């Protein structure tokens, strides 16, 4: 094996592989299992809503023209494709409208990369029990945030899209566990997936390809697991190898990542419980500001026309990720820009699926108000670390001189303010209803919420397919 960075002779990759391959359903605390099922339900709802989006239709049409295989379902449609292309399409759909989960400190949309790969395995290798499916999902949901935490917020700040780069490991972990790969083959699955890492944050300024990054990560993780199962070899010590390893290659310097965070507390600290759900249809970096504005209005009602100026003080990552000057380049840019989303909330009273369309991208009223919303760096917030990267201090100055202030550390739906079961189920039913009939929505909901009793998790794929 190649020499390691900082810890010569120690393989963090091998330690992670042992955790993945040996994780059993019985080892999952009840709180983790309960949370995991809600996270799965939320992600599947997002994927079903995403089926109707233009980029999803375009991707499906292109791939179905190229691919005659019909082994796996394309969620929310009657169409089928090969397993790798299904992972690509379904992952794109989950991340298709900025509705899906996020691990804030790990900077990763987890369900969008884990579930498309895992459901593909369950569909082509029938007989995977619901309990085994949950164990495999737990492996992916646990590994992904750990890699993100290892890399730190600098990874995305320097221009890599972590959903695409970090996400390959989450997908590979879930698929490898579902295929019951041993320690050695799981090392190779991670090594094969890791060398496929790619994704540029410039996609956030309006490109459809931003939606596809999660799908590509799911596909790469799927490839890593099935190729490793066949004996194909990947990079050993993929995380810690000094030259060309994941951490050194995707970080500016050796002091910008922390290998210990890959494996610390395995079995004791569950990062699954740190995954947040979205209550707004926009990038997670914007949610604390939107919450602050809602809370201000609840205590001191005001109309958008009364706003003179808004200043949002935020972490460096939030400024770079979402605080750039808005330019109407497409729907993606509108959902990722903080000023635009804040203007949308102030004008519309909400910031969910009905507030975003191609016709609203250059809405004059939103553009005018967004120009009066400034996002500035607050070094004190940045100094608090990745766990507080979404924290904001928001100041609203009204035309009559009134000054309103609000600080929000974490948004509703986050691990600190996790949504109630009823809220999550209602969100799922609303989103899933865009692609499935009421009866099928109920069947899928009940299937997910009782996964531990399901004999064949491949049934999920059938429930996700539209008639």
Residue 91 scores a pLDDT above 50:
yes
Edge-to-edge strands, sheet with 373-377: 373-377, 307-314, 392-398, 403-408
pLDDT grade for 2, boundaries at 50, 70 and 90: very low
At 425, which helix (H) or strand (E)?
helix 421-432
What are the residue boundaries of the structural domains of the chain, listed by start?
Answer: 12-276, 284-408
Of the listed ranges 17-21, 170-174, 410-414, the one predicted with least confidence: 410-414
Give the tens place of pLDDT for each residue, 184-225: 999 999 999 999 999 999 998 888 999 999 999 999 999 999
In contact, 113 and 137? CB cutoff 8 Å: no
Buried b or exposed e, range 155-186, using 16+ CB within 10 angstroms: bbbeebbbbbbbbbbbbbbbbbbbbebeeebb
Angle at 142 between CA 385 and CA 211, to 5 degrees: 80
pLDDT at 380 over 90: yes
Question: Mean of the pLDDT values across residues 18-36?
Answer: 98
Whole-angstrom distance, CA of residue 412 vs CA of residue 291: 7
Which CATH topology does 12-276 take?
A: 2-methylcitrate dehydratase PrpD (1.10.4100)
Which residues make Cβ contacts (< 8 Å) with residue 356, sequence separation at least 6? 97, 281, 282, 331, 334, 335, 344
Question: Exposed/middle/buried for 452, CB within 10 Å: 0-12, 13-18, 19+?
Answer: middle
CB neighbourhood size of 404 (10 A):
19
What pTM was estimated for this model as a whole?
0.90
Contacts of 64 (CB under 8 A, 6+ apart): 79, 81
**pLDDT at 10 (0 to 100):** 86
Three-state DSSP class for residue 253: coil
Average pLDDT, the chain: 95
CA distance 264 to 327: 42
pLDDT in tens, 236-249: 999 999 999 999 99
Question: Which pairs with CB-CB distance under 8 Å and at least 24 residues apart come from 459-462?
Answer: 460/44, 460/119, 460/122, 460/133, 461/72, 461/73, 461/119, 461/122, 461/123, 462/73
Q: CATH number for the 284-408 domain, one of 3.40.50.9100, 3.30.1330.120, 3.40.50.450, 3.40.50.150? A: 3.30.1330.120
Condensed to tens digits (0 to 9), the pLDDT of residues 403-462 reads 999 999 999 898 888 999 999 999 999 999 999 999 999 999 999 999 999 999 999 999
Under a CB-based contact definition with an 8 Å cutoff, are residues 392 and 313 in contact?
yes
4, pLDDT greater than 60: no
Cα–Cα distance, 375 to 369 (Å, whole number): 13
pLDDT band at 8 (very low <50, low <70, confident <90, very high): low
């Amino acid at each position: 094996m190649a020499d390691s960075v900082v810890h010569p002779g120690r393989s963090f990759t091998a330690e992670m592989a042992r955790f993945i391959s040996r994780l059993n359903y019985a080892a999952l605390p009840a709180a983790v299992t309960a949370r995991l099922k809600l996270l799965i339900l939320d992600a599947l709802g997002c994927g079903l809503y995403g089926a109707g989006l233009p980029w999803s239709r375009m991707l499906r049409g292109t791939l179905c023209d190229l691919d005659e295989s019909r082994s796996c379902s394309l969620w929310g449609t009657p169409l089928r494709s090969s397993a790798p292309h299904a992972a690509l399409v379904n992952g794109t759909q989950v991340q298709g409208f900025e509705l899906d989960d996020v691990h804030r400190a790990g900077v990763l949309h987890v369900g969008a990369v884990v579930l498309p790969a895992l459901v593909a395995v369950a569909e082509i290798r029938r007989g995977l029990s619901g309990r085994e499916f949950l164990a495999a999902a737990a492996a992916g949901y646990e590994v992904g945030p750990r890699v993100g935490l290892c890399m730190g917020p600098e990874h995305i700040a320097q221009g890599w899209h972590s959903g695409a780069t970090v996400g390959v490991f989450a997908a590979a972990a879930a698929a490898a566990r579902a295929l019951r790969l041993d320690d050695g083959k799981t090392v190779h699955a991670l090594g094969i997936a890791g060398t496929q890492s790619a994704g540029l944050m410039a996609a956030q300024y309006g490109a459809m390809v931003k939606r596809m990054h999660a799908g590509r990560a799911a596909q790469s993780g799927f490839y890593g697991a099935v190729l490793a199962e066949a004996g194909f070899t990947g990079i050993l010590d993929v995380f810690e190898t000094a030259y060309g390893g994941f951490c050194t290659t995707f970080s500016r310097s050796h002091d910008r990542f922390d290998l210990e965070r890959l494996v610390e507390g395995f079995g004791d600290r569950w990062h699954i419980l740190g995954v947040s759900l979205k209550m707004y249809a926009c990038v997670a970096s914007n949610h604390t500001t939107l919450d602050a504005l809602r809370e201000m209005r609840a205590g001191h009602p005001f109309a958008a026309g009364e706003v003179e100026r808004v200043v949002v003080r935020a972490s460096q990552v939030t400024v770079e990720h979402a605080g750039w000057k808005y330019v109407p380049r497409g729907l993606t840019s509108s959902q990722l820009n903080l000023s635009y989303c804040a203007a949308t909330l102030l004008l519309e009273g909400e910031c969910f699926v009905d507030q975003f369309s191609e016709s609203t991208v250059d809405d004059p009223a939103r553009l005018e108000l967004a120009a009066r919303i400034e996002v500035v760096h607050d070094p004190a917030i940045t100094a608090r670390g990745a766990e507080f990267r979404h924290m904001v201090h928001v100041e609203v100055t009204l035309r009559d001189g009134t000054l309103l202030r609000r600080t929000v550390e974490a948004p509703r739906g986050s691990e600190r303010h996790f949504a109630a079961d009823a809220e999550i189920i209602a969100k799922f039913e609303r989103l899933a209803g865009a692609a499935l009939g009421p009866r099928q929505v109920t069947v899928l909901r009940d299937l997910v919420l009782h996964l531990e009793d399901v004999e064949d998790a491949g049934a999920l794929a059938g429930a996700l397919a539209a008639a």
